[in-house]
Amino acid sequence: MLQTQTSVTVGAGPLTIADVVAVARHDARVELDPAALDGVAASRAIVEALADDTEPHYGISTGFGALATTFIPADRRAQLQASLVRSHAAGSGPEVEREVVRALMLLRLSTLMTGRTGARPETVETYAALLNAGITPIVHEYGSLGCSGDLAPLAHCALAAMGEGTVRVDGELVDAADALAAAGIRPVVLAEKEGLALINGTDGMLGMLTLAIHDLNGLLTDADIAAAMSVEALLGTDAVFADDLQRLRPQAGQAISAANLRALLAASPLVASHKGPQCTRVQDAYSLRCSPQVHGAARDTVAHAELVAGRELASAVDNPVLTLDGRVESNGNFHGAPVAYVLDFLAIVAADVASMSERRTDRFLDPARNQGLPPFLAHEVGVDSGLMIAQYTAAGIVSELKRLAAPASVDSIPSSAMQEDHVSMGWAAARKLRRAVDGLARVIAIEVMTAARGADLRAPLQPGPATGAVIAALRETVPGPGPDRHLAPEIEAAYALVTSGALRAAARLP
């Protein structure tokens, strides 16, 4: 789908999911609200006053974590902040995706702009400059336990702002100091409290949650499209999707999915062809008949995750934090449990919706259940394998998604000399959810391919206008029935149509 949002203004108020997607995925320019910057400067003045206080204040004139009682002299505090970032930039493993890093940086910037962290305006402006210059710090797969924030991932970003470490620019690995110099950005020399302000947040897991919510909202409509195509080409009934039946169980998501199915199957010659007394089947299989119930429950779970994400986007997560009346207080808001739970819920959603989709795909290939279609939808039975192995691929993905649905948030491992004795594992929950969302899109794409071939094999009977438009869009890159051919490129083409929103556009569904 075309991206129209070209800039995002970051102020003291919350960003939206659309804002995060625009900056993270589509390189929208970041603008800083001048009034919010004034608030940042005002809160910084409070920190500087406390820095001159003879009484120790956590993170300003003391060490961190288990070293919170250690007083740090004024002439060593800049070193303290730099040492914090350098020591916490301890990630390991593969690089995480560029869009994840950009989402993480944008959300940390948003918290800095609330004026609750005590960061200086010039530090805030540096983060915006890095995003606008397309400088992406290298962040690694492992390093966050999801408590005290996504410490290692955020520290790698702070390190880049200091002109240290490695970044990517236009896909190329570059020394951070060189990248900043080329972009005309002065490296930050961190002052009191700023190291904490840059690393003590749940921005990594929240960034991945916002991207997943955006993607799942589209994929659940794609799942409705795939289900409608399967109902139609398997000669199922649309009667079970009637509005009055759905109202007997007033679940909000179910109503949306059922309405989509009714719209997709409206005026379908294929559906009409077997209505009346000549049809002897009493009920369709659950994977057809109950699709609004499963897809609807998934929609409701995503809606709950969106509620939690909205609250998090409105949060100022740091420790210590500056209160509205000017106090500097320690707190536990950096714990990632609220985000970790919904990340795990969504992994369950992805696994279950994909599982139902794969079951519909499988029905097409079995002559005992596909209502007169050739085995495996093969062109020449016995010579061709048709879509047999495409279903294997879907089944393998679904099996993986079931493993990924095991929750990360029920795990905890103590750290920091038992100071951090319960952690959320939200980063791990987010990482596996990204894999699950991708797998769901691939399983739906295989069902769409399969259902489209099934519909084509029903000729001269025709699909309805909406599903017919989807099949026409698919046929621009994926050919119809015929002798066996290399299927992997066709699966990738169908996957691209799903993830781009092209199928939803063809069906005229949001």
Which residues are marked as active site?
58
Angle subtended by helix axes 203-233 and 337-365, to nearest 10: 20
Distance between CA atoms of residues 375 and 402, nearest Å? 28
Distance between CA atoms of residues 448 and 35, nearest Å? 50
Instruction: Report the sign of the C-alpha dihedral through residues 253, 259, 264, 268, in that order.
Output: positive
Q: Could you tell me the two tokens for 444?
A: 């739906």
Distance between CA atoms of residues 405 and 424, nearest Å? 16
Which CA distances in Å does 123 have to 118, 127, 192, 498?
A: 10, 7, 12, 40
Distance between CA atoms of residues 500 and 441, nearest Å? 11
Name residue, tokens 């589209």. Answer: 218
Main-chain dihedrals φ then ψ at residue 397, nearest 5 degrees: -65, -45
Which CA distances in Å does 225 have to 143, 207, 447?
A: 39, 28, 10
Q: Could you tell me the two tokens for 411?
A: 């795990």
Main-chain dihedrals φ then ψ at residue 96, nearest 5 degrees: -85, 165
Distance between CA atoms of residues 425 and 407, nearest Å? 9
User: Residue 453: what residue type?
Assistant: R
